[in-house]
Amino acid sequence: MQLSKRKAKLVQKVLTQWHKDQILSEEEYDRLQHAYEIRRFDWRRLGKYCFFAALFCFTLALINLFNDGKLIRLLIKWQLFRPSFCLAYAILIAIGFYSWGFYRYRHFPSKIYSNEAILALGAIFTTVAIAILGDLLQLNQDDSPFLFLLNCIIYGALGFWFRSGLLWFLFLSFLGIYFGAETGYRSGWKCYWFGMNYPLRFVIFGSVLIAAIFLIRPILAQRNLYKVTQVMGLLYLFVALWMLSIFGNYDPELWTKASQIDLLCWCILFGIVALGAIGIGLWQDNNIWRGFGITFLVINLYTRFFEYYWNSMNKIIFFFLAGLGFWLIGHYSEKIWNIGISNQLLKKINKKAK
């Protein structure tokens, strides 16, 4: 088993202490020391970041293609830039990337990041094709939910069928965009929809998504989509709760007139949900729930700290207390993280040694 230098140092420290305490015999100590080796460089992480950078550059290249007036005029002159032609090109290119990506998934399953990058290129051209379709149909702002729904259907079907976490992530992202656009359209693009502003709507949306996760968990787990769905559901819920604790269920033009007492109930709700997520994470030994709960509980506390004391406290004392709080949180987080990592690594080493 290969470990990073930091993890190997931690494991060696634990093994040495166990040997001193005579928990491990000399023979067991030597065997466990040879059960792992230090990984010199994390090539996998480098590959991951390089693929992200490549996708970003390809996206910028595509944007600049449409912004290049001379090139556009040249393509129009050659009769190659008609909207109907562009739609056909985008669809064919997207199908080509999807076919290539799914072929590689079947034949080269270990090349995870390059396979996902190819599917991401297909997704980019899918969005381009849908945007061109909207232009051809001369759709306006009121018709935008239809285009977002079309993205959802395509990404959801492909992601579920081919078990692609990336396409499923895009499906969940566009599902949230569609929900926001559809409720905005139904409310006449006003602040309230059934008495709810946008943050409160997305609290409901995130809650429904999380409830659906528990109902269809076996299906999502079978398709390798459970983790990404869980993350997106919690992200929708907690970001919406955070916004709700700041703005309340008020119109953006009126929320500045609301007192801190009026927003207190939303702050308390935010804290209760964060504590509940921590409890679920501890009960089910689920790092995702525990991580979201702890992170947003800290965000809630620091948001309230800035709200209540920014104007009333001396800035030297204010930033000293803020820095001290972050230092203590970082210290205890590091300690908890090291305990968890050491337990996981020792389980793996013991399993390998046996």
Q: Which of the two residues, 70 and 104, has the higher pLDDT score? A: 104
Q: What are phi and psi of 272, to 5 degrees?
A: -65, -45
What pLDDT does residue 240 have?
92
Let me know: does 256 contact 248? Beta carbons within 8 Å: no
- Mean pLDDT in residue range 73-98: 73
Whether 52 has a pLDDT exceeding 90, the answer reads no
pLDDT level of residue 206 (50, 70, 90 thresholds): very high
Q: pLDDT of 5-50, one tens digit each?
A: 666 677 777 777 777 777 777 777 677 666 666 666 555 565 556 6
- Among 54-63, 112-121, 169-178, 244-253, name the one with the lowest average pLDDT: 54-63
Whether 212 has a pLDDT exceeding 70, the answer reads yes
Packing angle of the helix pair 144-162, 83-107 (nearest 10 deg): 20
What pLDDT does residue 41 have?
54
> Across all residues in the chain, what is the average pLDDT?
76
Q: What are phi and psi of 82, to 5 degrees?
A: -70, 145
Q: Which of the two residues, 144 and 240, has the higher pLDDT score? A: 240
- Mean pLDDT in residue range 308-334: 64
What pLDDT does residue 353 have?
52
Q: What are phi and psi of 80, to 5 degrees?
A: -105, 0
**How many beta carbons lie within 10 A of that of residue 167, not counting itself?**
28
Q: Which of the two residues, 186 and 73, has the higher pLDDT score? A: 186
What pLDDT does residue 172 have?
92
Q: Tell me the percentage of the chain whose pLDDT exceeds 70.
A: 66
Q: pLDDT of 144-162, one tens digit each?
A: 788 888 889 999 998 888 8
Cα separation, 55 vs 118, in Å, equals: 9
Q: pLDDT of 110-136, one tens digit each?
A: 777 777 788 888 888 888 888 878 777
What pLDDT does residue 208 have?
93
Q: Which of the two residues, 288 and 339, has the higher pLDDT score? A: 288
Let me know: does 63 contact 128? Beta carbons within 8 Å: no
Tokens linked to 285: 């030994």
